[in-house]
Amino acid sequence: MTDSRFLNHLRDTLAGIEADGLMKRERLIEAAQSARVRVAGREMLNLCANNYLGLADDPRLVMAAKAAMDSHGYGMASVRFICGTQDLHRQLEQRIAGFLGMEDSILFAACFDANGGLFEPLLGEADAIVSDSLNHASIIDGVRLCKAKRYRFANNDMVDLEVQLLKAVADGARFIMIATDGVFSMDGTLANLGAISALAEKYGALTMVDDCHATGFMGPQGRGAPFHAGVKVDVLTGTLGKALGGALGGYIAGPQPMIDLLRQRARPYLFSNALPPAVVGAALAALDIVEAADDLREKLFHNAAYWRAGLEAIGFRLLPGEHPIVPVMLGDAPLAQAFARALDARGVMVSAFFYPVVPHGGARIRTQMNAALSTDDLDFALAAFEAAGKEVRAIR
Ligand SMILES: *Cc1c(COP(=O)(O)O)cnc(C)c1O
């Protein structure tokens, strides 16, 4: 029997989370992830998935996954370097690198692992990492695991970035790496990669961009935020778990010696299983779709523009932007939660965010557009937002 004093301590912590109104509850989806999902027997419109291109239940990906299982089996039962590398893994790594304009790439079980494993092998005590304050948790953890000196700049604040770079230079850093999300997922804002690149050049720093919320749909051919900004960065990390099919898997793409060294030293790569063939095969099919045509991206951005205009016409306050992440700002947490419940009752699934995930007073419903949503779906959602907004007095 586990020590009851310890279990009571855990129960107290859980009670505290509940009392603070921070308990996260999971909805059980009873079929495939899609624009419309069945939850507890009800059909709901889903406005909170990272399924940007609507590929999560695409028959072409399902078929590619099945075909890869038929030809390459179910599991690898090994890390990559012992006996877990198939031709498919190398194909996908080269495909990703080509797509992103990099020399090579290396797969991880998730982008969380890619970011967790990136910094420690590449940088040491003599070096500096200058990191955006709103960077994803996995970057923060990866930076913590690395011995380099840490500098933090205010979100997307280029004046502060320069101040931090100057500090790192003054502290005598051997190498400096600037780390940023390509798109900040709570706000849907794009990192100012043009200015970041210019500052990197000025101070001889390397640039690392986590492009999870852009790869597949931002920029020409969906190559991501750096291409959208027209700049070249030194290292990119990304996920197969969002636009590129939504299953799981992550990668780092960069110069050959960097990828070669990560294959030798990145701990989540060395000590964790190879991706299963089904995921790798379907990711290759996702890249085929992404590279072949702009139709899904056009639908996605059409939906995003339609949705933003519709919400603004009803009177909601949005954060400005063009990204398919469209945050509806409500201010206080109870209002955001009440609004999410009122939408749920009307068959619309959204996610409310409040402190500590976003700043005090910045509570919001984060909606996300995707290419699988029809105009009818969006009109249905707009009517629901208007009715629910009036019910909870978020709008007049
Ligand atoms: C989703 C996300 C991750 C984690 O990706 P996984 O592949 O799901 O682990 C990392 N960074 C950013 C910015 C993300 O949005």
Q: Residue 6: inside a domain, yes or no?
A: no
pLDDT at residue 23 greater than cutoff 90: no
Q: Which residues contact 305 (CB under 8 A, 6 or more apart)?
A: 322
CATH of the domain at 363: 3.90.1150.10
DSSP summary character for residue 346:
T
Of 24, 109, 27, nearest to 280 (Cα)?
109
Radius of gyration of the chain measured on its C-alpha atoms = 22
Choosing from 264, 291, 318, the residue where a domain stops is 291
Two tokens, residue 2: 């586990």
Q: How far is CA 147 from CA 90, 114, 117, 206, 300, in A?
A: 31, 17, 13, 17, 41
Q: Give percent of the chain with pLDDT exceeding 90.
A: 95
Residue 1's pLDDT is: 85
Rounded Cα gap, residues 327 and 309, in angstroms: 13
The 10s digit of each residue's pLDDT in 69-126 is 999 999 999 999 999 999 999 999 999 999 999 999 999 999 999 999 999 999 999 9
The closest-lying atom of ligand 1 relative to the alpha carbon of residue 211 is 13
How many Å lie between the centroid of ligand 1 and the Cα of residue 137? 9
Say yes or no: 219 and 113 in one domain.
yes
* Residue type present at position 255: P
CATH of the domain at 248: 3.40.640.10
Cβ count near 79 (within 10 Å):
15
Q: Which residue has the higher pLDDT, 219 or 354?
A: 219
Is residue 211 a contact partner of residue 225, using CB atoms and an 8 Å limit? Answer: yes
Residue 313's pLDDT is: 97
State the chain's mean pLDDT as an integer: 97
Choosing from 254, 269, 291, the residue where a domain stops is 291
Rounded Cα gap, residues 354 and 359, in angstroms: 7
Say yes or no: 230 and 374 in one domain.
no
State which residues form the domain around 367: 22-53+294-391
Q: State whether the beta carbon of 327 lies less than 6 angstroms from ligand 1.
A: no
The 10s digit of each residue's pLDDT in 59-68 is 999 999 999 9
Q: State whether the beta carbon of 250 lies less than 6 angstroms from ligand 1.
A: yes
Residue 99's pLDDT is: 98
Residue 247's pLDDT is: 98
Say yes or no: 251 and 308 in one domain.
no
As a whole number, mean pLDDT of residues 360-389 equals 97
Question: Would the annotation count 136 as a binding residue?
Answer: yes
Choosing from 260, 276, 291, the residue where a domain stops is 291
Residue 275's pLDDT is: 98
How many Å lie between the centroid of ligand 1 and the Cα of residue 341? 27
**Stretch (H or E) spanning 326:** strand 325-331
Three-state DSSP state, 339: helix
Q: Residue 206: inside a domain, yes or no?
A: yes
Say yes or no: 260 and 338 in one domain.
no
Confidence of residue 184 (pLDDT cuts 50, 70, 90): very high
Say yes or no: 98 and 117 in one domain.
yes
pLDDT at residue 198 greater than cutoff 90: yes
Strand ranges across the sheet with 42-46: 36-39, 42-46, 348-349
Q: Residue 13: inside a domain, yes or no?
A: no
Q: Is 242 a catalytic residue?
A: yes
Say yes or no: 219 and 261 in one domain.
yes
pTM for the full model?
Answer: 0.96
Say yes or no: 46 and 180 in one domain.
no
pLDDT at residue 170 greater than cutoff 90: yes
The 10s digit of each residue's pLDDT in 141-152 is 999 999 999 999
Confidence of residue 355 (pLDDT cuts 50, 70, 90): confident
Residue 208's pLDDT is: 98
Confidence of residue 20 (pLDDT cuts 50, 70, 90): confident
Q: Is 24 a catalytic residue?
A: no
How many Å lie between the centroid of ligand 1 and the Cα of residue 113? 9
The 10s digit of each residue's pLDDT in 265-319 is 999 999 999 999 999 999 999 999 999 999 999 999 999 999 999 999 999 999 9
Q: Residue 10: inside a domain, yes or no?
A: no
Say yes or no: 214 and 347 in one domain.
no
pLDDT at residue 24 greater than cutoff 90: no
The closest-lying atom of ligand 1 relative to the alpha carbon of residue 249 is 7
Is residue 191 a contact partner of residue 156, using CB atoms and an 8 Å limit? Answer: yes
How many Å lie between the centroid of ligand 1 and the Cα of residue 38? 25
Cβ count near 234 (within 10 Å):
17
Residue 194's pLDDT is: 98
Nearest CA to ligand 1 atom 14: 212
- Beta bridge pairs of residue 366: 327, 351
Q: Is 185 a catalytic residue?
A: yes
Pocket perturbation via mutation, ligand 1, pick of 52, 138, 251 by most ligand atoms within 8 A of CB: 138
Q: Which residues contact 91 (CB under 8 A, 6 or more apart)?
A: 280, 284
Q: Give percent of the chain with pLDDT exceeding 70.
A: 100
Say yes or no: 230 and 111 in one domain.
yes
Say yes or no: 140 and 281 in one domain.
yes
Number of domains making up the chain: 2
DSSP summary character for residue 273:
B
Two tokens, residue 117: 């494993």
The closest-lying atom of ligand 1 relative to the alpha carbon of residue 182 is 13
Q: Residue 3: inside a domain, yes or no?
A: no
Question: Would the annotation count 367 as a binding residue?
Answer: no
Q: State whether the beta carbon of 181 lies less than 6 angstroms from ligand 1.
A: yes
Confidence of residue 357 (pLDDT cuts 50, 70, 90): confident
CA torsion sign for 346, 349, 354, 356 is positive
DSSP sequence for 144-165 = HTS-SEEEEE-TT-HHHHHHHH
Rounded Cα gap, residues 54 and 50, in angstroms: 9
Say yes or no: 305 and 258 in one domain.
no
The 10s digit of each residue's pLDDT in 213-234 is 999 999 999 999 999 999 999 9
Residue for token pair 């056009």: 298
